[in-house]
Structure 1
């Protein structure tokens, strides 16, 4: 029985300041690796799954360091594509007090940004796979990255794989002319499992989300309203068997209500 889970996306170098400092404060920065799909792959590997992570990395020390990081967690990286000028980065300010977290992306002309359609041999990657996981972030990076994702989705569907879509809408990334709704909506037509927060579901579906105003654990959601909402979602995305929505109300930077 096939058990391999394939995730596809960009691994990034995350640079942040210690002790809640702003980016313009202090003289030290902390380096770590991030990226939604890489985080997903590592989490699944922690749980004992057979996971392959697919991305594109530059030659040289930075690309090798990222590969070593992935291998530390037992990930299969045998189909990682090499090339491009640089590793993508982002700068992160951690939330504190009444200040929200803040992210500045520096991904333009990264190895993943300059990925060309056809570089990834999806036939080989998916030959022994059971699950394919993708994200709206990957589709936002560039047109070729989006089209590579769609190539994988079409092939995964033809092979009968379970397809998992993380909506993962990041408005600051979309810059190559395609509308986020149109692309993500198309991704979700192939998907068996979809997850995202209430705002991401709204972007993907075009249907306004139900307000979530919980201030404590005594709040009761309107179950009938959500059942009706997801009946609409099933009409829009008939292939999808499982739909997960995270509900969040931010009371302060470090105090959120979630369900």
Structure 2
């Protein structure tokens, strides 16, 4: 049985530790919010399937090879002949600033269809369907795919989770609000930062409105200030785990993977937040979107303190 099904676009990623215009050594990997979450969940021992489209090219092969190596089920991935796999570039214009540029317009990932996503929901019969607000921003077909998958999962009694993940380079706030509010009617768990909540509701208190309209929990992330989980019964806060921050890219996806893992394990909201902030701390302690994500046995390592030598 599939624990989690997720869908979206994965890209090849290129990283440099200096301004990219200067050239020099670069690191090649893969990136993508949903594939990051899939890797995080697989490392924590869950069976997770990713639905996506890659180009019939070398970057597409890299994505498939990486996901398979990390234990992610790729049976629902389609290679599109003639289409290109998108890529994202990360460089550092200053020592503590990461700049991101995307090269994905018209990519294979934007050709995801409602038919293949609904078929994957039916075939996988997952316990959870995880979506982000990035996918519906990619194209009209990708927006229809995310909505159709959410409705199909909700109708089948599958819990749907949504990480807003707003990207202003992909669409306007008005367009995002129109799509995400439609999507939110099928969502069980919402992840959003404070400045993303108005994309889901125009009410003066978006959290209360989302809970009143059927969401079971709204998780509001605040970076170094931790996160809050709101349910109809109560609200909880967890501080971020204090660790030196090397790279914040991917921290939100790490948080989500930890939270969903704990939910699948039947932990209460306190346990979910604890595992989420721990997974996020692992991610920010190293470069890369997903490379530092913990295994289940590694979750307790941060409690040993900085500088510990494991012998």
* TM-score of the alignment, normalized to the shorter chain, above 0.5: yes
State the partner residue of 1:145.
142
Q: Give the alignment of 1:55-204 within 5 angstroms.
A: 55-83=52-80, 84-94=82-92, 96-97=94-95, 100-118=97-115, 120=116, 122-127=118-123, 128-174=125-171, 179-204=175-200
Partner SS for 2:22:
coil
Match of 2:201 among 202, 205, 209: 205
Q: Secondary structure at the match of 2:197?
A: helix
Q: Distance in 2 between matches of 1:81 and 1:207?
A: 40
For residues 121 and 196 of structure 1, what CA distance do their matches in structure 2 show?
A: 24
Cα distance between partner residues in 1 of 2:112 and 2:152: 19
State the SS of the aligned residue for 2:97.
Answer: coil
Question: Aligned to 2:209, which of 232, 255, 259?
Answer: 232
Would you say the 8 A contact 1:6–1:126 is kept in 2? no
* DSSP-derived class of the 1:160 partner: coil
Superposed CA offset, 1:133-172 (max 9, x none): 0000011111110101111111101110010101110010
Conserved in 2, the CA contact under 8 Å of 1:79 and 1:125? no
**Could you list the runs of 5+ residues in structure 2 that have no partner in the other structure?**
226-244, 249-276, 278-311
**Residue 115 of structure 1: CA displacement?**
3.4
Cα offset for 1:82?
1.6
Q: Equivalents in 1 of 2:182, 2:131: separation in Å?
A: 13
Q: Does residue 53 of structure 1 match 2:50? A: yes
8 A contact 2:4–2:128 mirrored in 1: yes
TM-score normalised to structure 2 length? 0.67
The change in CA–CA distance for 1:255 and 1:249 in structure 2 (over 3 A counts) is farther
**In structure 2, do the counterparts of structure 1 residues 129 and 91 end up closer, same or farther at CA, with 3 Å as the change threshold?**
same
SS at match of 2:129: strand
How many Å apart are 1:40 and its aligned residue?
Answer: 0.3
Instruction: Give me the CA root mean square deviation.
Output: 2.7
Which consecutive aligned stretches of 4+ in structure 1 deviate over 6 angstroms post-superposition? 253-256
Residues 56 and 82 of structure 1 are in contact (CA less than 8 Å); yes or no, is this contact kept in structure 2?
A: yes
Query: What displacement does 1:28 show?
Result: 2.6
8 Å Cα contact 2:57-2:84 kept in structure 1: no
2:33 to 22, 31, 36: 36
TM-superposed CA distance for 1:74, in Å, is 0.8
Q: Does 1:244 align with 2:211?
A: no
Query: How far apart, CA to CA, are the structure 2 residues paired with 1:50 and 1:179?
Result: 34
Q: Specify every segment of 5 or more residues in structure 1 that has no aligned partner in the other structure, as ranges.
A: 209-227
The residue aligned with 2:13 is: 14
Please state how far the C-alpha of 1:44 moved relative to its aligned partner: 0.6
Count of aligned residue pairs for this structure pair: 229
Greater share of helix:
2
